[in-house]
């Protein structure tokens, strides 16, 4: 009986020992899983809060393993770090990619911590790949945008510059071929054709030069206290628009704005020409002025088809002619130049939907004080690097 009891005690002790050992292992695994889950949640939270993914991972690694310092080195350059390396330079390096290495400064990690480190290194590899793809996309985007602009420019130039050149060349060739035998009326018509074509060509070249000046920041602006009515009236005269074409509501009182009168008139010509072109027959364009705080606003309102919300920014991009497919409306620089000129005057040019349908272009300029208005003197202002349109 004693022998049987001894055997039973040994068996029971072995079973209890086995169960306790398994429970301990399960507990350690659960703790590791909880630590991994907590670490990943912390990393995800850091990224969602807008922190750099690689830097967030490095910070969490140092905290999780209680290391003096952690660094990520890519191609010999440190891209993220937490803490400071040990004075003796001792560290453990873990390859992440062909060029990237994770440096762990401090004591070697225990075997139980290696699995958690594997989770972190996998996240680091993914973060490095994502950063590399983002940099590639950022490099490709301006190239693609430049190619689109270049293609649009070449497409526009192939017609818009060739058309007036061809017309002028044909008119001059006709005059030369006919000689003195050409009737006076026919001679006058050919001369007018050549003059109109060369004028159109000069306008196109002027627009291109102005775009170049705006983009390089060398455009000079005259800052003069200007009554907007003094720019609106000449613009209407230039376009030969009368009361049947445009209605006015000038409610700015005695307020004047900081502006270049010549460039402001040119902006108004562009905006009024566009509004008149798209306004329905018999429906006049409405021009109004008003003041709000230290701003003076000029609104050009039409009842045309308007512009879709997703294309409102595109209309101010050079060489964009929304809805035009025949290249008959120029290089598409009018609105781009208009916004550039207004921004060079420290103002803004924006587009809004007209209530009931149509488009409203809003020019907002700084109002000038009484001293500026009385003096009426100009100050040349060059568009600098930070003020390019």
Give me the percent of the chain exceeding a pLDDT of 70: 72
At a CB cut-off of 8 Å and minimum separation 6, what does 79 contact?
54, 72, 73
Q: Residue 328: its pLDDT value, please?
A: 44
Instruction: Note the pLDDT of residue 300.
Output: 93
Class of domain 217-387: alpha beta
In this predicted structure, what is the pLDDT of residue 387?
39
Say whether 177 sits in a helix, a strand or coil.
Answer: helix
Q: How far is CA 26 from CA 21, 23, 30, 111, 236, in A?
A: 9, 5, 6, 16, 86
Q: Are 257 and 228 in contact, with CB atoms under 8 Å apart?
A: yes
Please state, in angstroms and rounded to a whole number, the distance separating the CA atoms of residues 164 and 194. 8
Least confident of 139-148, 313-322, 359-368: 139-148
Going from N- to C-terminal start, the domains of the chain cover: 2-136, 161-216, 217-387
Q: What is the pLDDT of residue 122?
A: 79
101-122: b (≥16 Cβ within 10 Å) or e? bbbbbbeeeeeeeeebbebbbe
Residue 198: CB atoms within 10 A of its CB come to 16
Q: Look at 58 and 379; give whichever has higher pLDDT.
A: 58
**Residue 337 scores a pLDDT above 90:** no
Contact criterion met (CB below 8 Å) for 43 and 57: yes
For 243-253, how does the pLDDT look when each residue is reduced to its tens digit (9 = 90+)?
999 999 999 98
Determine whether domain 2-136 maps to CATH 1.10.3470: no
Task: Identify the CA nearest to 257 among candidates 281, 278, 226.
Answer: 226
- Equal CATH topology for 2-136 and 217-387: no
Residue 144, number of CB atoms within 10 A of its CB: 11
Contacts of 344 by beta carbon, 8 Å cutoff, 6+ apart: 214, 219, 221, 260, 263, 381, 383, 387, 389
pTM of the predicted model over 0.85:
no
36 phi/psi in degrees, rounded to 5: -60, -45
Provide, rounded to the nearest whole percent, the portion of the chain with pLDDT above 90: 17
Mean pLDDT is lowest, of 28-42, 117-131, 258-272, 352-366, for: 28-42
């Amino acid at each position: 009986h004693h022998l049987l009891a001894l055997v039973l005690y040994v068996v029971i002790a072995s079973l209890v020992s086995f169960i306790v050992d398994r429970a301990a292992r399960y507990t350690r695994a659960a703790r590791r899983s909880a630590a991994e889950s907590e670490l990943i949640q912390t990393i995800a939270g850091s990224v969602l809060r807008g922190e750099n993914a690689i830097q967030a991972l490095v910070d969490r690694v140092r905290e999780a393993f209680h290391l003096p310092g952690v660094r990520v080195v890519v191609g010999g350059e440190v891209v993220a770090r937490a803490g400071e390396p040990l004075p003796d330079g001792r560290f453990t390096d873990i390859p992440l990619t062909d060029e990237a290495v994770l440096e762990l400064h401090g004591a070697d990690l225990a075997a139980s911590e290696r699995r958690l480190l594997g989770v972190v290194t996998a996240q680091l590899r993914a973060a490095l790949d994502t950063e590399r793809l983002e940099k590639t996309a950022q490099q490709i985007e301006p190239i693609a945008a430049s190619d689109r602009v270049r293609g649009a420019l070449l497409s526009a130039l192939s017609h818009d510059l060739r058309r007036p050149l061809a017309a002028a060349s044909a008119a001059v060739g006709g005059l030369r071929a006919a000689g003195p035998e050409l009737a006076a009326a026919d001679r006058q018509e050919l001369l007018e054709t050549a003059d109109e074509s060369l004028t159109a060509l000069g306008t196109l070249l002027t627009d291109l030069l102005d775009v170049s000046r705006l983009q390089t920041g060398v455009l000079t602006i005259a800052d003069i206290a200007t009554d907007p009515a003094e720019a609106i009236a000449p613009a209407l005269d230039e376009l030969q628009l009368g009361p049947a074409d445009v209605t006015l509501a000038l409610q700015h009182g005695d307020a004047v704005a900081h502006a270049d009168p010549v460039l402001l008139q040119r902006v108004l010509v562009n905006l009024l020409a566009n509004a008149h072109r798209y306004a329905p027959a018999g429906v006049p364009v409405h021009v109004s002025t008003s003041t709000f705080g230290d701003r003076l606003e000029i609104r050009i309102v039409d009842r045309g088809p308007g512009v879709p919300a997703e294309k409102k920014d595109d209309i101010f991009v050079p060489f964009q002619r929304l809805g035009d497919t025949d290249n008959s409306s120029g290089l598409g620089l009018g609105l781009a130049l208009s916004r550039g000129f207004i921004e060079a005057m420290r103002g803004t040019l924006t587009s809004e939907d007209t209530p009931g349908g149509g488009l409203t272009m809003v020019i907002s300029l700084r109002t000038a004080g009484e001293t500026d208005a009385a003096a009426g003197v100009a100050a040349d202002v060059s568009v600098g690097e930070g003020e390019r349109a």
